[in-house]
Structure formats: C-alpha cells, structure tokens
C-alpha cells in the first residue's frame, strides 16, 4: 500500500502566503493512510448540533411572529401615509387614504389596499369628528402635502402604538 503525505518539501511555495498554504494543507485534511474525509461519528455529531441549534432558534421565533406582524403593520401604514403625501405633492392634486375598519383594510385611493392582520385592532381619533372605529374613514392630503390632524391607534394584546400626523407639514410620527 502506497502512502501519500503532504509535506512542505513536496512543492516549494514562495513567500509568506506560500508558507501559510503549505501549513494549512499539512494540518487538517489528510489521514495517516493518505485518505481524506470525515468519519461517520463526526458527521452524526455535526448534524445533531445543527438540528439542536435550529430547534432552539425556531422556538424563540414562534413567540415573535405576532409582534413582528404588528411592527410590520405599523411600518406599512406609516409608509402608506408618507407615500400618499408624496403623491399629492408630486402630482399637485389632492389624494386620500382610505381605512376600512369593517373590512380590515387600508390604502391609497386608486393604488390598491393592504390587509390589516386579524389580531390587530385599529381606530382613528379625529379632533373634529371624534373617535372612529367602524365603517370607512378618509384622510385627504392637499396639493401642498398638508392634511387635517388625526391620530391612528393600533393595538393588539401586548402593545399599543399611536401614529400622529402633523397637520401643517404632514409629518408622520410613530409613538
């Protein structure tokens, strides 16, 4: 049986990089009889560790899905308000956002709707008309980007977030 060994003398690498490469080849990838690879026991241990880490991490992600869905809805709604303001300013035409409380949807009029997840509740507090939580609510942006003041309140079992809209410049503030 012919044995093959890697050694620094089998090829003459040049410089510091060559020395690192030859040391790397020597240290890990050859057995005494010249075959390379991993044993079955090593493979089983690695697969067990991968399965264990995946199981533990998925356990933590299961608890965060409702919180993540809530945060995503808040971000999407505030981004929709900002986009409606931008569209009104660019087109120099009034635009509006519709919130359908009964259908659990919201969106920019003429641009489609997004669904609100069923575990999230929403209401609008308007200083003129009061609190609204059923039916339809329309928020209209003027050509300049201004809008009448309103607070949109979203909540679920764990959290409550308020989206306030500045009436003069149309800033969206998430609290």
- What tokens does 165 get? 């809209």
Taken in order 27, 28, 32, 36, is the CA torsion positive or negative?
negative
Assess contact for 152 and 101: CB atoms under 8 A: no
Length of the chain equals 175
Decide if pLDDT at 77 tops 90: yes
Farthest-apart Cα atoms in the chain, separation: 94
- Domain boundaries in the chain? 60-174
Helix (H, G, I), strand (E, B), or coil: what is residue 65? helix
- What tokens does 29 get? 């990838």
Helix (H, G, I), strand (E, B), or coil: what is residue 106? strand
Q: Show Cβ contacts of residue 124 under 8 Å, excluding neighbours closer than 6 positions.
A: 99, 131, 132, 133, 137, 139, 150, 151, 152, 153
CATH class belonging to 60-174 = alpha beta
Q: Residue 98: phi, psi to the nearest 5?
A: -105, 135
pLDDT (tens digit, 9 = 90+) per residue, 57-68?
887 776 567 788
> Which pLDDT value is given to residue 32?
55
103 vs 147, residue with greater confidence: 103
Mark out the alpha helices in 31-173 (DSSP H runs).
40-91
pLDDT (tens digit, 9 = 90+) per residue, 96-135?
899 999 999 999 988 889 999 999 999 999 888 889 889 9
CA–CA separation, 168 and 141 (whole Å): 11
Q: What is the pTM assigned to this prediction?
A: 0.63
Query: Over the Cα atoms of the chain, what is R_g?
Result: 31
């Amino acid at each position: 049986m012919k044995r093959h060994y890697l050694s620094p003398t089998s090829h003459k690498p040049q410089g510091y990089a060559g020395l690192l490469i030859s040391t790397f080849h020597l240290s890990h990838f050859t057995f005494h009889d010249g075959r390379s690879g991993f044993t079955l026991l090593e493979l089983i241990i690695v697969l067990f560790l991968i399965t264990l880490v995946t199981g533990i991490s998925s356990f933590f992600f299961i608890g965060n899905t409702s919180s993540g869905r809530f945060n995503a809805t808040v971000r999407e709604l505030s981004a929709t308000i900002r986009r409606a303001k931008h569209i009104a300013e660019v087109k120099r035409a009034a635009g509006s956002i519709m919130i359908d409380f009964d259908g659990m949807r919201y969106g920019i009029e003429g641009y489609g709707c997004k669904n609100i997840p069923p575990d999230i509740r929403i209401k609008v507090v308007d200083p003129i008309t009061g609190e609204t939580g059923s039916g339809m609510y329309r928020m209209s942006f003027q050509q300049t980007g201004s809008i009448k003041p309103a607070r949109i309140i979203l909540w679920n079992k764990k959290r409550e977030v308020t989206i306030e809209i500045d009436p003069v410049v149309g800033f969206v503030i998430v609290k």
